Amino acid sequence: MTSLEADLEALLGRESVTPAAEGTGGTPPTPTARPRSAEALAEVLALANSRRLAVLVRGGGTKSGWGRAPGRCDLVIETTALNRLLEHEPGDLTCVAEAGLTLGELQRLVGGAPGHHQRLMLDPPQGGGATLGGVVATAASGPLRARYGTPRDLLLGARFALADGTLARTGGKVVKNVAGYDLGKLLTGSQGTLAVIVEVALRLHPVPPASRWVVAEGVGPPTAQVTLTALRRAPAVLSMAELLWPEGTLLARLDGAPSACEQQAEIVRALVPGGRVAGESEAEELARMIERRPWEGEGPVLGISVPLTRIGELMALAAVGGPVAQLSLRGTVGAGEARLWAGADPAQFAAQVADLGGYVSWHRGGGQDAPPLQPLDPVAARLAGSVKQALDPHSTLAPGRGPA
Amino acid sequence: MDRIPAQLDQESLDALRRAVGSRWVLTDPDQLRTYECDGLTGWRAVPLAVVLPSSTEEVVQVVRICHRAQIPFVARGSGTGLSGGALPVEDGIVIGLSRMRQVLRIDLDNERVVVQPGVPNLEVSRVVAPFGYLYAPDPSSQRVCSIGGNVAENSGGAHCLKYGFTSNHVVALTLVTTEGEVAHLGSAVPDSLGYDLLGVVVGSEGTLGIVTEVTLRVLPVPQRVQTLLAAFPSTDAAGEAVAEIIAAGVLPAAIEMMDRATIEAVEFAMHAGYPDCGAALLVELDGPQSECEALFGQVVEICRRCGASEVRVAEDEAERALLWKGRRGAFSAMGRVSPDYYVQDGVVPRSQLARVLAGIRELEGRHSLKVANVFHAGDGNLHPLILYDRRSPDGPERAKRLAEDILSLCLEAGGSLTGEHGVGRDKVCQMPKLFSPNDQMVMHLLRRAFDPGGTANPGKVLPTPRLCGEHPGIYRPHPLELSGAAQRL
């Protein structure tokens, strides 16, 4: 046992520390600390910080490969023992939970309150086992963002630990609040490089009583473009609009009162060439189609955003036999929030996407040495550096990692 | 940090004149007095000069001059803010953005509009309305208040219950840093690279730099809008209806509540034809016709069940305008029934509305002052109007104490210091009631990362011993500060 492991055990107890030798935590193997309280987590951080160790924070481990890979790691802090739902007042449609609670467990807890079927309207990839802290730290979202937005829109407040062990709060637990800086937005998507999130307050929504799917097959770039533009202006609120490409499948979902769902599904169907309203028995299979991501496994994945009006062109770039072969897109194209993910060889792609007015970043597989695909605004980069320096002056938290 | 210039040195003044043109640098005391306060007139300070740049490049030059000579600056839009966020500092200048009022680009297929900061809020909706679009945030001063000011305060409005705040509708902006560099934050497309610095700049009340260009998200106008006014015997009954509407899963575009005192003032001042009742709820639904109709019936039924004696449904746009008239004019109506009033802006969890309103009634008695309540009930954002007379010897002081007590009540209920007006100068010394010394320290660290020289809107948002006195609990040095790694502004 190393002296670090002994000190961690003294702080947290033997059951909360996995020594490096039993190595689950990274390459080379590093010890893992699993503190049971925010205060204990802060103490571990302070200890690591004072010894100039590099710390990686992990929740459910479902998005460890996202963003740039960290340069080094001496200690993994896992938040999974911080897993309590602290408050849920159904009448407020809000909840406060510890960061290590999984999204799946939260949905179960807030979904089952008597008379109130509520939900956190986030459906990121591998969502069930993801922790709330991890979802926020990676700004992970899924198809529902078309209607409900991303973690930045649903996070009301947070408690977090700075690298030196300072515990602090931002925001609150009410849905409307402009007191002080909105550090919650800064932490959202910061990938554990600025602070360790230990608690989150989130906005919930009621589970809509009914849903209807509209499906179309054989949708090519020109049709997709025209249809998406038309859908944006149609009198129908899409909870999601997903495009599977190169399969050419467009999936749209409408949620709400049963009669409203029916009518809106009909409006959408009429706008989508070849569209049909799916039967209720198909709903599960359609949801699974969206869940399936061809790039699960190894290899680099890109995050791509383009303006709504350029989605057809992006599809053309990504078509089989098109300029960039073997590219597979999944995307939330509803609500004008076009975000398409692609599994591909990145290098040739970035410039073409830039020409469309969009951007490409490493969603996964951007190693330490991978060059940024698109340059960040230099002054914004300098400000980002100042913020990192101010909050984590010794670069204790995931050095080298970060959203890019 | 002590600041040097008690008056503007000649060199800086000349440089400012060169940067924007002499006629856009105001130093005449009478002209300066126009800028001595914002919408919160209780706080006043005359700046050394007012500079009115017309472009990002001119703002850059002005800020560089300030940076070089360590001149504090306060950015100002239309001056309608209600927290003293644009209150000048006496040893600094005001940078007024009112000349920067161009709509730069409209791209409706992508639902984006790019504007300069001086563009009035309503102007955005006005330019896109002919094409069937709108800009959702609608603060009640929307005819006058500027987009730049909205960005600074993260403004809301009656319809933010459904549509969210300014921060949900600003997708990118140009920030002139306190050192006079130009940063482009955010992106016109969804998501962007790097940290979400845009997210902290929105709502930072002009303390992190000056925003000179803003890319906004605009939305298609909903197919249908339905509005009703329901009369309840009491605020308790109306509050219950609010809770039931929310619990039923209905998300109205707006739910506004007015208590008896407000209704009486509105009737006296503008004859809006409101019913004589203990509390009125104004509920607006919008969206696709099918959805509106399905939910509207539900809302009417909930109101009746919760004791509404009357439910008026607007049959057309004119009737809708009439229902809103009283709500929109409530603040000014108060001016007709009381010599002075102070608008508080507190937030409570929605489930605590009834309890806090009862608490406010109790405080009215204790302070012997009348409070009229008109507020965004759907999101728990209270706007108690404290009626007082400044000519009575302790009138203002009592009003201030009552306002603070109401705020404490909101915080005890788990709420917030401010829902949409901001901290500004007005609530800076109350920040410790909501945020611990550590919480504030982290905010200081962030501020310093953006503004190492401490020149951007000093004295706002974060308390310092100089502003708020030395009582314990406000200030405790952070280890980083003691080690010299950080410094307090």
B23 to chain A, minimum CA–CA distance in Å?
32
Q: Are residues A224 and A355 both part of a single domain?
A: yes
- DSSP assignment of A259-274 equals HHHHHHHHHHHHHSTT
Stated length of chain B: 489
List Cβ<8 Å contacts ≥24 apart for A222-228: A222/A312, A223/A273, A224/A250, A224/A311, A224/A312, A224/A315, A224/A333, A225/A309, A225/A311, A225/A312, A225/A313, A227/A271, A227/A272, A227/A273, A228/A308, A228/A311, A228/A333
Domain count, chain A: 3
Please indicate, yes or no, whether residues A106 and A199 belong to a single structural domain of this protein.
Answer: yes
Cβ distance B144 to B80 under 8 Å?
yes
A398, part of any domain:
no
Whether B487 has a pLDDT exceeding 50, the answer reads no
pLDDT top residue among B464 and A184: A184
Tokens of B86: 């644009």
What is the structure's pLDDT at A304?
Answer: 83
Contact B27, B46 (CB under 8 A): no
Cα dihedral sign for B399, B403, B406, B408? negative
Q: Which residue would you say has higher pLDDT here, A340 or A242? A: A242
Please report the pLDDT score of residue A340 as a whole number.
59
Note whether B445 contacts A179, CB cutoff 8 Å.
no
Average per-residue pLDDT in chain B?
A: 92
pLDDT-based confidence at A137, cuts 50/70/90? Answer: very high
Q: Residue A322 has which token pair?
A: 């098109």
Asked if residues A363 and A301 have their Cβ atoms less than 8 Å apart, the reply is yes
CATH code for the part of the protein at B338-422: 3.30.70.2740
Nearest residue of A to residue B349, measured between CA atoms: A174
| Residue A133: CATH number of its domain | 3.30.465.10
B354-373: pLDDT as tens digits: 899 999 999 999 999 999 99
Residues of A in Cβ contact (< 8 Å) with B187: 305, 359
Interface with B, mutate which of A181, A263, A379 (most B CBs under 10 A): A181
Do A124 and A236 reside in the same domain of the chain? Answer: no
What is the pairing mode between strands B73-76 and B93-96?
A: parallel
Contacts of B482 (CB under 8 A, 6+ apart): none
Identify the domain boundary among A18, A52, A78.
A78
* For range B418-447, the mean pLDDT: 96
- Return the residue of B nearest to A362 by Cα: B193
State the greatest distance between any 2 C-alpha atoms of chain B, in Å, as a whole number: 71
The vertex-A371 CA angle with A367 and A377, nearest 5°, equals 125
For residue A314, which amino acid is it? L
Q: Is the pLDDT of residue A323 over 90?
A: no
Q: Is residue A383 part of a domain?
A: no
For residue B333, pLDDT over 70 is answered with yes
Residue A334 has pLDDT above 60, yes or no: no
Q: pLDDT tens digits, residue range A225-239?
A: 999 889 988 999 999
Which architecture does CATH list for B10-96?
2-Layer Sandwich (3.30)
Question: Does residue A93 sit in the same domain as residue A63?
Answer: no
**Helix intervals (H) in A272-335:** 283-291, 311-317
State yes or no: pLDDT of B2 exceeds 70.
Answer: no
Helix and strand numbers, DSSP H then E, in chain B: 18, 20
Residues B288, A260: C-beta atoms closer than 8 Å: yes
- Which tokens is A11 given? 């702080």
Query: How many Å apart are CA A101 and CA A106, to the nearest integer?
Result: 7
**Residue-wise pLDDT tens digits, A51-100:** 999 999 999 988 887 877 788 899 999 999 999 999 998 889 999 999 99
- Could you tell me the CATH number of the domain that includes residue A47? 3.30.43.10
Mean pLDDT of A117-144: 92
Closest CA to B432 of B422, B445, B441: B441
Mean pLDDT for chain A?
A: 88
- Alpha carbons within 13 angstroms on the beta-carbon side of residue B436 total 11
Percentage above 90 pLDDT, chain A = 59
Outline where B129-169 has alpha helix (H).
Answer: 147-153, 160-163
Chain A residues lying within 8 Å of B160, measured CB to CB: 176
| Residue/partner pairs of B128-132 with CB below 8 Å, 24 or more apart | B128/B218, B129/B221, B132/A233, B132/B220, B132/B221
Number of A:B CB contacts under 8 A?
Answer: 275
Q: Has residue B5 got a pLDDT over 80?
A: no
Task: Look at A391 and B446 and tell me if their CB atoms are within 8 Å.
Answer: yes
CA B386 – CA B370 distance, rounded (Å): 6
Residues A215, A302 within the same domain = yes
Cross-chain residue pair B435–A162, CB shorter than 8 Å: no
Matching residue, tokens 């809020």: B121
CATH class of B234-335: alpha beta
**Chain A residues within 8 A of B182 when measuring between CB atoms:** 379
| Residue A293 vs residues A56, A124, A330, B84: alpha-carbon distances, Å | 26, 12, 8, 51
* CA pseudo-torsion sign A300, A308, A373, B177: negative
Does one domain contain both A236 and A257? yes
Cβ distance B196 to A174 less than 8 Å, yes or no, reads no
Please report, for residues A18, B204, B366, the alpha-carbon distance to residue B208 in angstroms, rounded to integers and kept in the order given: 43, 7, 41
**B66: region left, alpha or beta (phi > 0 left; psi from -120 to 50 alpha):** alpha
pLDDT in tens, B44-87: 999 999 999 999 999 999 999 999 999 999 999 999 999 999 99
Q: What's the mean pLDDT in B178-202? A: 93
List the one residue out of A169, A135, A130 whose CA is nearest residue A154: A135
Domain range for A24 is: 3-78
Chain B partners of A181 at a C-beta cutoff of 8 Å?
A: 200, 203-204, 443, 446-447, 461
Percent of all residues in chain B with a pLDDT value above 90, rounded to a whole number: 82
Contact A186 B196 (CB under 8 A): yes
Q: Per-residue confidence at A23, pLDDT binned at 50, 70, 90?
A: low
Distances (CA, A) of B20 to B58, B231, B254: 6, 55, 43
Q: What is the percent of chain B with per-residue pLDDT over 70, rounded to a whole number?
A: 95
Tens digit of each residue's pLDDT (9 = 90 or more) over B221-257 = 999 999 999 999 999 999 999 989 988 889 999 999 9
Q: Say how far apart CA A240 and CA A339 lie, in whole Å.
A: 12
Does residue A94 fall inside a structural domain?
A: yes
Report pLDDT for A318.
77
User: Tokens at residue B291, please?
Assistant: 């959805």
**Is A64 inside a domain boundary?**
yes
Rounded to 10°, the helix B289-305/B235-247 angle is 140
Give the residue from A31, A54, A78 where a domain finishes. A78
pLDDT at A339: 55
Is the per-residue pLDDT at A312 higher than 70?
yes
Comparing CA positions, the residue from A104, A99, A4, A109 lying closest to residue A59 is A99
Nearest-10 Cα torsion for A81, A182, A153, B281:
110
Local confidence band at A384 (pLDDT 50, 70, 90 cut-offs): very high
Give the C-alpha distances (Å, rounded to integers) separating A329 from A213, A316, B123, B221, B483.
20, 11, 39, 31, 50
pLDDT at residue B411 is higher than 90: yes
Assess if residue A382 is contained within a domain: no
Is the Cα dihedral B159, B160, B166, B169 positive or negative? negative
Please say if the pLDDT value at position B30 is more than 70. Answer: yes
State residue B472's pLDDT score.
41
Same domain? A141 vs A252 = no
B103-220 matches B10-96 in CATH topology: no
How much helix, strand and coil, in percent to the nearest 5, is found in chain B?
Answer: 40, 20, 40
Do residues B158 and B430 make contact, with C-beta atoms less than 8 angstroms apart?
Answer: no
Q: Which CATH architecture has domain B103-220?
A: 2-Layer Sandwich (3.30)
Shared-domain flag, residues A9 and A46: yes
Which residue is closest to A169 within chain B, CA to CA? B439
Residues A190 and A105 in one domain: yes
Specify whether A256 is located in the same domain as A309. yes
Q: What DSSP state is assigned to residue B484?
A: T
Indicate whether A264 and A279 sit together in one domain. Answer: yes
Distance CA A60, CA B251 (A): 33
Q: Which residues of B touch A241 (CB under 8 A)?
A: none
- pLDDT on residue B485: 47
d(CA B430, CA B438) in angstroms, rounded, equals 15
Q: What is the pLDDT of residue B65?
A: 98
Please tell me the distance from the alpha carbon of residue A183 to that of residue B447, in angstroms, as a whole number: 11
Token pair for residue A359?
């951007």
- State the angle between helix axes of B289-305 and A258-271 in degrees (0 to 180), rounded to the nearest 10: 170
**pLDDT at residue A107 tops 50:** yes
> Do residues A216 and A291 share a domain?
yes
Looking at residue B486, its pLDDT comes to 47
Instruction: Give me the helices (H) in B329-394, please.
Output: 330-337, 353-367
Q: Where are the domains of chain B?
A: 10-96, 103-220, 234-335, 338-422, 428-482
| Residues of B (367-386) whose Cβ lies below 8 Å from A | 376, 379-381
- Report if residue A349 sits inside a domain: yes
The nearest CA of chain A is from the CA of B321 a distance in Å of: 23
Q: Lowest-confidence range among A284-298, B138-152, B172-186, B324-338? A: A284-298
